[in-house]
Amino acid sequence: MSTNINQLRDFSTFFTRSEVLRLLKSDFKSVNTKLQRYDLIEKKRGCSYLEVLKEAYKNIQNSYQNEYVLKNEFLNKCLVEKVLNKDSIVFNELRLGNSIADLAIFNGVSKAFEIKTILDKECRLSSQIKTYKKIFNETYIIVPEQQVDKYLKFDNEVAVFSYDSNLNKFELVREATRNEVIDIDVLMNVLHSKEYLSIVHNHFGIVPELNSFNQFDICKKLISTIDYLELNNIFLETMKSRKIHNSFFNKINSEFNQVSLSLNLKEIERKKLIDKLKNNKVL
């Protein structure tokens, strides 16, 4: 496949949530349309869709570093290999009020990751970091190698990873400073109602008289009295108890790790996706 920028931009959509949901239904029309657009049907005839998508990913990785590839490679090279274990839970795009963390990890500590590509503007970064530091133990930003100096100035308590797109390599430039506070407002925005009700019941032994109008405020007031260290542990265990399927721990066909995480695919669903791509061929 060529390195035509329009083609690479088109092929990057192969790894979007909507496209993968179509592929799970054995709907390959969109892939075929894009192959036809660049006169590749004949060349790829007889190839499996898995081969087509893996080749597309390699070309995107080499010549069109978009956010999907950057996030996926960070998952593969820095998290799956070095950080994650069977007790870790990873969230894709975790909402924290008005901010959304690109990635969030919960194991022995909570970590938020914000990814900035070469095309991203930093105008919202200060407010994002401020929010992450109110609830996560550690905050990280992942930035292009040529922009490291600029991002190092934002906040000296935030860890910085540099990314070399030519070598496909990540390097930790600065460690994170451990956060020792949990902002109750941010915490309550993250927790589901059944979670904060459970926290109150388990910690205080009783659930006061509540109704749908007052339960949030009453639970918030009670939870705010819990010691930081204990509340931090409660937060970690609460997030780890959510039904998140981190099926990307399997390193085979790692090109699909990020979209598997984004769709929260179970292992059996991920296997179904790979099987459909492997067993269907371009006609």
Residues 100, 147, single domain; the answer is: yes
In a domain, 268, yes or no: yes
Count of C-beta atoms within a 10 Å radius of residue 100: 14
In a domain, 202, yes or no: yes
* Domain end marker among 140, 174, 208: 174
What tokens does 4 get? 């035509």
Q: What is the CATH number of the domain that holds 150?
A: 3.40.50
Strands (E), 97-181: 99-106, 110-115, 138-144, 159-164, 169-174
Residues 30, 61, single domain; the answer is: yes
pTM over 0.85, yes/no: yes
Residues 156, 122, single domain; the answer is: yes
pLDDT of residue 247: 66
Task: Identify any residues that bridge with 111 across adjacent strands, giving them in sequence order.
Answer: 105, 138
Distance linking the first and last C-alpha atoms of the chain: 18
User: What does the alpha-carbon distance between residue 167 and residue 199 come to, in Å, rounded to a whole number?
Assistant: 46
Best CA proximity match to 67, nearest among 15, 19, 20:
15
In a domain, 79, yes or no: no
User: What does the alpha-carbon distance between residue 69 and residue 75 come to, in Å, rounded to a whole number?
Assistant: 10
- Domain of residue 52 covers 5-70+246-279
Order of strands across the sheet that contains 138-144: 89-96, 99-106, 110-115, 138-144, 159-164, 169-174
Residues 111, 169, single domain; the answer is: yes
Contact 161, 141 (CB under 8 A): yes
How many domains in the chain? Answer: 3
Residues 93, 166, single domain; the answer is: yes
In a domain, 76, yes or no: no
pLDDT in tens, the chain (283 residues): 556 889 999 999 999 999 999 999 999 999 999 999 999 999 999 999 999 999 999 999 988 878 899 999 998 888 876 666 667 889 999 999 889 999 999 988 999 999 988 877 777 888 999 999 999 999 999 999 999 999 998 899 999 999 988 878 899 999 999 998 899 999 999 999 999 999 999 999 877 788 888 999 999 999 999 999 999 999 999 999 998 887 666 678 999 999 999 999 998 999 999 999 999 999 8
